[in-house]
Amino acid sequence: MIPFNKPFIIGKELYYIAQAVQSEHLAGDGSFTKRCHAWLESTFGVQKSLLTHSCTAALEMSAILAGVGCGDEVILPSFTFVSTANAFALRGASLVFIDIREDTFNMDENILPSLMTPRTKVIVPVHYGGVGCEMDVINSIASQYGCVVVEDAAHAVNARWHGKWLGTIGHLGCYSFHETKNFISGEGGALLVNDSSYNKRAEIIREKGTNRTEFLRGQVDKYSWVDIGSSYLPSEIVAAFLAAQLEEADRITAKRVAIYNRYAEGFADLISTGHLATQFIPDHCQHNGHLFCLLLKNLDERTRLIKFLRERDVMAIFHYVPLHLSKMGRCFNCSSGDLSVTESVADRLVRLPFYYDLRLEEQNLVISLVRSFLGFND
């Protein structure tokens, strides 16, 4: 069987986990957490990074930091994972769904001005597949309305837009280290704080609403409950595994980009002749090889292809059910304009197996089977 995803070990993961256990400090914010913070801050040039137990946690922290409450509006794509919406819905926000572009599958920045109101508090660009949204336009509009930009960069660790690291361009950025992502720790995430006015409060929210971090630095003589918050720290075992992965970030990215390029080469003729489509990557975007997807003609063809591949032990999957069509999306009083592109892409998109240990012969088999299904095998 060729699975859709497979977790992997590349370096010192198990050794670092053993060190963490022997350190007698398995709770959060030990030496491996600090090592990960240092790597993220030095590599991506951010003022502060905070490891979390998930990207969901980073998004929830962002919603609190942005001061989101009842009556506020948050603009986000419907074509995203549920965590993007939950983080703000939990604070009482009204969700405003925006359609995506037909080429990049990212938020359509040209629609954004029509959705802005005096109640708009946050804009959440989601960098689908590690391909950057048009952040200059989004940031400019946000500045005009005085609202916060929270980058959902779950797919986008080590990817760039106009040379800038995704996750570092808005006020706040959220990363994922889930086992389906490029750099993994099983579960895990990080909040990047790009606006220094959030630094102190971000630490407090992450530590259950206490000033414990200041206490550990010797800045206060005791710590207590000073704000709202929750337990957003990962354990040192998670941080130890992640530290080993981050040390090999360039190697991992190079391998994943090579996998992406082989898929692109294998379907290039069908894409150029219009028999298939895939995500467009603008010249100013440097993706990280997060995923490779194809757009089929319609839902029926996509369904039949997935079934065809599974019958041959190849696991390909679709992606998001648009949030506005979900049970909870219908329950909330969500507003939006036309979401026809979102609905079309969601019905037609299929993701092919993609993981670090995917062998070339396995990848060639996937390409051959897809081409055979479409009637184009050599």
Q: Tokens at residue 354, please?
A: 């993609």
Report the percentage of the chain scoring pLDDT > 70: 99
| Angle formed at CA 169 by CA 180 and CA 259, multiple of 5 degrees | 35
Beta strands of 1-158 (E only): which ranges?
48-52, 73-77, 94-98, 120-123, 148-152
Q: What's the whole-number mean pLDDT along residues 283-293?
A: 98
Residue with tokens 């750099």: 183
CATH number for the domain harbouring residue 51: 3.40.640.10
Residue 377 pLDDT:
76
Contact 323, 85 (CB under 8 A): yes
Residues 118 and 191 in one domain: yes
Distance of CA 149 to the CA centre of its chain: 15
CB-CB neighbours of 206 under 10 Å: 26
Residue 335 pLDDT > 70: no
* Residue at a domain's end among 223, 247, 271: 247
Are β-strands 285-286 and 48-52 bridged in parallel, bridged antiparallel, or unpaired?
A: unpaired
Helices (H), 225-358: 236-247, 249-266, 268-272, 299-310, 327-331, 340-348
244 vs 143: CA distance, rounded Å: 38
Task: State the pLDDT confidence band at 333, using cuts at 50, 70 and 90.
Answer: low
The model carries a pTM of 0.96
* Residue at a domain's end among 204, 226, 247: 247
Q: What would you report as the CA-atom Rg of the chain, rounded to the nearest whole angstrom?
A: 21
Contact 184, 249 (CB under 8 A): no
Nearest to 122 by CA among 99, 163, 93: 93
Residue 23: give the domain boundaries.
13-247
What DSSP state is assigned to residue 169?
S
Residues 140 and 86 in one domain: yes
Q: Tokens at residue 45, please?
A: 């040039």
Summarised one tens digit per residue, pLDDT across range 147-167 is 999 999 999 999 999 999 999
Task: State the pLDDT confidence band at 303, using cuts at 50, 70 and 90.
Answer: very high
- Across 130-134, 214-218, 331-335, which has the greatest mean pLDDT? 130-134
Task: State the pLDDT confidence band at 378, using cuts at 50, 70 and 90.
Answer: low
Residue 155 pLDDT:
98
CATH number for the domain harbouring residue 361: 3.90.1150.10
Residue 14 pLDDT:
97
Residue 334 pLDDT > 80: no
What DSSP state is assigned to residue 275?
S
Tally of domains within the chain: 2
Task: State the pLDDT confidence band at 213, using cuts at 50, 70 and 90.
Answer: confident
